[in-house]
Structure 1
Amino acid sequence: MKRKITYVVVILAGLQLFAGCKKYLEISPQERVLLDNYYKTPADAFAALVSIYDRFGAQAGGLYDKVAIMSAASDDQVAGGGGPSDINDLQVVNTFTLNPTTGPQGYLWNKGYAGIFRANVFLSKIGGITMDATLKARYTGEAKALRAIFYFDLVRFFKNIPLLTSEVDPKQIYEVTQVAPADVYALIEKDLTEAIPALPNTITGASEGGRLTKGAAQAMLGKVYLQQAKYAQAAEQFAIVNGSTPGQANATYGYKLLTNFGDLFKVNNKFNTESILEIVHSNASNGGWGDAGASEGNLLNIIVGPRGYKPVLASAPDYYSGYSFLVFTKEFFDFIHFDPRNKATVANLDSLEKNGIATYEKGYQNSGYFLEKTIGRVADKAPTGQTELNFPQDSYEIRLADTYMLEAEAILQSGGAVGAGSRAYQLFNAVRARVGLNPVAVTMDNIMRERRAELAGEGHRFLDLVRWGKAATVLAYKGFTANKNEIFPIPQAELNNTKIQQNKEYGGTK
């Protein structure tokens, strides 16, 4: 989906809600489309909806996104790069030395609230547009589901946040206050529950890939319930997504595990049967260094590539030389080395070099083990624009193996049957069977190991560790402080001259 909307001034600006988030545009008065003159036609509604999706896929101008942040915070990867201050926002997450003025929290906050702002404006205006009722309901459902997704990230990352469900009068911007996390979760659940009936069961990837479906919203609702330890409700939602027979195609939605694990990460395999919700990227956006974050390309593809990569033999992988961020640790490599998913997960550059196949420069914190899933390839170079910023690989927000394992976890935690032959057993071991592994018992230890191997480098590990209460132990070697680093500090710019209070974990009173 093309995410840029260039003619809706108030939406394009992504008007941030608080003092530190203002953005300014150089716009000719003749080119302005005022909000009062907008939202007149179905085409206006669609364009505004796309602008909300724009924030869902937004990346930082500093060449990172949510997945990169979560990866740097995990025990499996380190920030890496060219030195200890290279993409400093990732470095301070990696060492848990971030503070209200330093770190990636401004990007996370702005991305979320810009998306919420756009969704709130959209929901307040679409009622006045004359259009097909079914289409209007679908658009409304998408906007509510997106708002829920933004809030789900914000409440997990910052805990105490403002809850805004309508446009904020500019005079009241500095008067906004925070609410209890339970209130945010209540809205998230309400938005998703109301959105689901109006969303389609399936979409056509070629024309609508990246848009929300019933299954995507139900999977997200399952994650929301699981986060709150509402295990039975989570299992119920995941069961709808996963289908009646684990390992077989969902008869309603068509979801099915891919036969070959490595096929998940082929650039041309977008919107496959395992994809529930993905962020769309393109190599045709012509993005450049003037605003790298506005590129439609996947910035992970360039930052995780090996620095100074040079093939020696014709058989060498066609990696595009990158910036050597988010390398795997030796401990993770040892963990996955003999797992069938190793080859599709880890690019072993040291092995390539030792065998005379390729050479590379050793970056900061180099281990020799790179993220194979996401390295940019020469074959996928952009036809125009800045090559580094325009790789087209999509990113999975949710895929079926994830929901299979989450349903098994929810069943286990709710006291349901998990023995051989049970639904939980079948779900969990379908993920293992896909890569040729024998069945094992459904235990939390096994679930933790399986999620680590299956979803490595996809942005889940840190959030899983926090949810399981394991972060303080597993991440101690990185400097993680219990009862603090489970969340991020609220950006200082959001506190200046406002009623928003810093979380007590970072010296505040909230």
Structure 2
Amino acid sequence: MKKNIIKISLAALTVFVSLTSCDRNLDQFSSVNEPVDQAMTRPESFRQALDGAYTSMKEVGYYRSDAGNQLIMGDLTTDNLTRSAAGRNSNFAASNFEFSSDNAQTTGLFSPAYLAISRANFVLANINNGVLTGTAKSNTEAEARAIRAMVHFDLVRAYCKIPTQSSDAGASLGIYYADKYDPSNTSGSRDLTVTQVYEKIAADLLFAADNLTQTSNDKGRLTKAAVYGLLSRVYLYKGDYSKTIQYGELSLGASASVTSIGNFTGIWKSSSVDGVLFQVLNSPAEAVTVGVAYNQFIGGQYRSEYVADYDLFTSYATDDVRKSVYFTTAAYNGKTYNHITKYSSNGGPANVVPVKYLRSSEVALNVAEAAYKSGDMTKALTMLNNVRQQRHSSYVPGTETGAALLTAVYNERRLELAFENDRWYTLKRLGLPVQRSGKGDLSNGTGTVPIEQTLAASSYKWQWPIPINAIQANPKIQQNPNY
């Protein structure tokens, strides 16, 4: 067996580690190839390795291309989107709740997520080699552990039950938590419960929160404010509302703006990062078409794969800045649709924009929901109004109380986080079914109607299937029930 080879692509700032056998040729896809023990003698190699972990989130199945793209999966499986008859039928099976272990639409997240985790673990495997010391070392270790936790959370909410989903969720089958560098993953098994996986995620994030001091002007690296925001998300899913509030308020204390109404268009056109806590960077040079799963711009027209559900589209008030940012009502081949243009670029390559992974407005809504469920109606309404104030040009503060207040929080979450991979998981964690409107794909609600209209809250399909090729490579990985 040859020694481990580290491949460092200086242009893309990514690190790849490959175990190569004597009878296998070394793939040559980078500008520098050298042994790990040599490469990791330089401080900059640690930075490159961490950037490589982030880059994994732009692989097919995470945010690249269309099949299984996480920017759309959380919406096309719900009541937010309707399949367009003018599209190519991409992701049709998933939109019709036809999930299977050999279909990349629901299994595509699995491989690139564990690749990102492996790259973070590679950094951690070398963190004590003496090259980094002091603040540089503590920041690097904290960032690697935060990446590992963040990506494991994406996996556990997709492939496992969510703690608040049902009474048996906490003790149910968890995901494999990879906390050691093992790129081949031939020994990992799903031996943890959902509760135990969440505990590991929280432990990594809490370590990061205590040790991260770095800043990121482009929001392309995790910072303390972002980690606090991630903790608010994790604890909301876990049902620990006091900690959701605690870490949500810490995040908002470090990054208070929920994006001003004047900057809201800019954060989607790459001219502002106001209210962005963490984004997966993307540039015209990389040409990762993260928005292509929604539509393609052909001959001056949007050809959409999925368009806005009519009831959702009409839920946005006329003075709501999100309506013009998220949608474009326009014709394609003589028929008019409400196209999703949230990810259209600003003069650059079509659909090539950074992915807004976490924003302060989500954190504010996390706190609003948790405050309501903790009995603090004043805080809940204040947080809700903080978001609404920056979305409406003719703003009048809301005065909801009781059940109407919680409904308003849920409605605002749907409006704010539409097409950001939230809706499926909000319904899932609340134990609610998918109930589509029955409206068609045209801009006035007529046209082609989705075949499947409902998915029961009790369905096993809320837990996506583990990809069959992952089980074939490692039979210790247990498949989810009924697949």
TM range (shorter): 0.7 to 0.9
Taking a change above 3 Å as real, the CA distance of residues 376 and 110 of structure 1, as seen in their structure-2 partners, is: same
- Please identify, of 135-144 and 37-46, the stretch whose mean Cα deviation from structure 2 is larger: 37-46
Q: Which residue matches 1:219?
A: 229
Amino acid at match of 2:175: I
Partner of 1:194: 207
The corresponding residue for 2:168 is: none
Contact 1:71/1:462 (8 A) holds in 2:
yes
Q: Is the 8 A contact 1:14 1:114 kept in 2?
A: no
Deviation of the 1:58 alpha carbon: 3.3
Match 2:290 to one of 296, 299, 302: 299
Is residue 2:354 matched to residue 1:394?
yes
Contact 2:284/2:352 (<8 A) preserved: yes
Query: Paired residue for 2:395?
Result: 437
Return the offset for 1:408. 0.7
In 1: Cα distance, 2:437 partner to 2:26 partner: 42
1:412/1:305 Cα in 2 relative to 1: closer, same or farther (>3 Å)? same
Which stretch has the larger CA shift, 467-476 or 130-139? Answer: 467-476
Partners in 2 of 1:253 and 1:269 — Cα distance? 18
Q: Please tell me whether the aligned partners of residues 361 and 387 of structure 2 are also in contact (alpha carbons under 8 angstroms).
A: yes
Q: Does 1:488 align with 2:472?
A: no
Give TM-score, length-normalised by structure 1: 0.77
Report how far residue 186 of structure 1 moved. Answer: 0.9
Alignment deviations for residues 468-502 of structure 1 (CA, whole Å, 9 cap, x no partner):
22234459953424332222111111222612121
The answer for the alignment partner of 1:327 in structure 2 is: 307
Q: Note if contact 1:408-1:424 (Cα within 8 Å) is conserved in structure 2.
A: yes
Name the counterpart of 1:158: 159
Does the Cα contact within 8 Å between 1:238 and 1:407 map onto a contact in 2? Answer: yes
Match of 1:470 in 2: 432
1:375 maps to 344
Following the alignment from structure 1 to structure 2, what is the Cα–Cα distance between the partners of residues 349 and 29?
Answer: 43
| Cα drift, residue 44 of structure 1 | 1.4
Higher fraction of strand: 2
Give the aligned partner of residue 168 of structure 1. 182
Residue 342 in 1 paired to residue 346 in 2?
no
Residue 264 of structure 1: CA displacement?
4.3
- One-letter code aligned to 1:397: Y
Rounded Cα–Cα distance in structure 1 between residues aligned with 2:125 and 2:81: 43
SS at match of 1:33: strand
Amino acid at match of 2:370: A
Q: Which amino acid aligns with 2:157?
A: R
User: What secondary structure, in the 3-state scheme, does the structure 1 residue paired with 2:277 have?
Assistant: strand
Aligned partner of 1:38 in structure 2 is: 39
Deviation at 1:448, TM superposition (A): 1.3
Question: Aligned partner of 2:203: which letter?
Answer: K
Provide the rounded CA distance (Å) in 1 between the counterparts of 2:399 and 2:97: 35
**Quick one: structure 1 residues 175 and 237, their matched pair in 2 at CA, closer, same or farther if it must change by over 3 Å?**
closer
My pick for the range that moved more, 211-220 or 469-478, is: 469-478
Structure 1 partner of 2:381: 425
Structure 1 gaps of 5+ residues are 17-22, 244-251, 286-294, 311-320, 351-359, 382-387
Indicate the larger mover: 253-262 or 140-149.
253-262
TM-score where L is the length of structure 2: 0.81
Give ranges in structure 2 of 5+ residues lacking alignment. Answer: 1-6, 161-173, 439-451
TM alignment of 1:208-287, pairs within 5 A: 209-243=219-253, 252-253=254-255, 255-260=257-262, 262-272=264-274, 274-285=275-286
CA distance in 1, matches of 2:198, 2:454: 30
Amino acid in the other structure paired with 1:441: E
Measured after TM superposition, the shift of residue 275 of structure 1 is 0.8
Report the aligned-residue RMSD.
3.1
Taking the aligned partners of 1:461 and 1:298, their CA distance within structure 2 comes to 22
Amino acid at match of 2:261: T
SS state of the match for residue 357, structure 2?
A: strand
8 Å contact from structure 1 (residues 328, 367) kept in 2 = no
Q: Number of matched residues?
A: 434
Partners of 1:154 and 1:329 in 2: CA distance: 27
Structure 2 Cα separation of the partners of residues 370 and 29 of structure 1:
39
Q: Which amino acid aligns with 2:329?
A: N
Q: Distance in 1 between matches of 2:71 and 2:25?
A: 28
2-side partners of 1:432 and 1:66: how far apart?
26
SS of residue paired to 2:366: helix
Pairwise CA distance, 1:257 = 3.0
Task: Name 1:361's counterpart in structure 2.
Answer: 333
1:63, distance to aligned residue in structure 2 (A): 3.2
Taking the aligned partners of 1:28 and 1:269, their CA distance within structure 2 comes to 33
The residue correspondences of 1:100-111 to structure 2 (distance < 5 A) are: 100-111=101-112
Whether 1:80 aligns to 2:84 is: yes
> Structure 2 counterpart of 1:361, which letter?
N
Retained in 2: the 8 A contact 1:126–1:136? yes
